[in-house]
Structure 1
């Protein structure tokens, strides 16, 4: 995490206000706080001080369609730096790179890039920065509930021939080189690089969780990442709600856990052999007090899943008996009806000799940084 003395340097020793955290669980249009920006809108509209920073726990489901990004996790603590004063705030970005990335985290300045929208006014703010990548402005347009046009600026790092975003800054309502500034900084990614690890859960602080996962015989880093990420998020959310239900926050927890159960079944992993110890290690990592209900809830939920899994599998097999071709719509309908992983549905159909037409497959080569570093494609971007 960024130390306060470093934050002071980033803001040139000006007075900086630590902003109040937003609750992780919400009851408005968002069920969860997914960005530090939430709760800061009023300061941009009616500033009562010039600068602020926030250290915010956030949750976002980052595993859609089983596409796993080694630099993304569902639950993490993010940092944001804010300037509510409309001036040339580019020095904050320069100072973040200098004082935090280079001086404090010892990152190689030759591998740090600024990715900018194709807007001359914004590019001129960083004309003295060596490594720049320019992208079409529409790709970096940011939607905020504030007046004016807003654009992302990414600070990225060339790592293991991949390209990792370390911070997203937002130029808020720029005019005549003056703008307010929003940001999201990813300490987990920065520390991963600092420790020279290939993916987030190889960091030293996660080692005892990973050791318990390894006891299941899981050697694939993508599956390790998927299981640890979903289980950490589930345990954290349960520490607040103590409830799995079919509504709101509880349904999200249930969905996260269900993904873990299905993945283990698909990969022939006997999760029951060590799930209790994995949960205990996560509780210890998160420093949760009075955690016994969490473990009981997850174990009860997993046992219920095992009981219902074979029942739903038989129902799907019966439905498949009347299908000659399994297309996207049929897969989606069976998934919506029974909540069974789509890969299980496809596998059951193939076992019956049914032709499968699935046009929703994802290509993990779209990622800019991969578990398999041989797939990374970041070569001479300039």
Structure 2
């Protein structure tokens, strides 16, 4: 606790290394009280200094809540375990038979629960990942993030030119959004966070002209890039972390909407999807958004739209910004006409084409100032670089309050 107090006092990052079976039973309530003292310090340090937890072995019972309150949790495959209640107690109480690894292993918390942000294949790999994380983060919320200033070469290279042919002709065909991320960042270096959890959205850190940036990007290769509960919470947490530590956020958008289904609705997609809206709306760091293809319905608003406070919004000519996709819109708007026509398929194709020309494009949004520029894909990095230069000294404040009430 003294170390935690000192780290907060001097504004230094805090790294916790966890490898413990939990509280000593014979110490009774004293151990529980000291646990709570640690949790309180985690809460007070949140958003002030970066907190990273390295779980290098077992972490059970109440002890799990300290890592859970930190910014990043790094676990080691087949070595780390985190759980509130162990397998033996679970079997006694519920009858479930589960092994340590399945219950709370590194793979479980990286792929299913989303508790952990990275799974190292060994301890050395986990430590190296923490070092890489620290290279992008400031020491505290009053300091700028580490920077290695360079002047970007804005000449179009082969990586930039490849973006012109990245979007498939078919709107339903996927492509890898990571190619866009690599084209924007210095040397294509990207440190992904939460890589194994909710892969339909990609988040992580990189640099532009040597300055740290956070990246949030829909991934069409997974679930068509739709937003679901896990993706919304993953992105919301990441945006808030970047905002807490003065790191600009670049958002790459190709989202057909929120994932439909009773499972999503009953598990709270309304409340949990609102977390991402909240995160973008409260952020005061530079926000740059690039729409590469689809931006439909409420998901358009959620993904760093101009209406939520993004500073610079760009779109490729392939962008489709609309209430919904052409097929769905035509089926609703022209249901009676299609039912009465002799050749409904031909007429539907004509109406879809008309809808795409009239509505599913970036130019209407640009006319109204919702998009600042429609740019050729190969110019994406140069526009992002210029936007970040202009926003480097951005200052924005919010109305005084004790704290907001994010829909938890």
For the aligned pair, the TM-score class normalised by the smaller chain equals under 0.3
Q: TM-score, normalised by structure 1?
A: 0.24
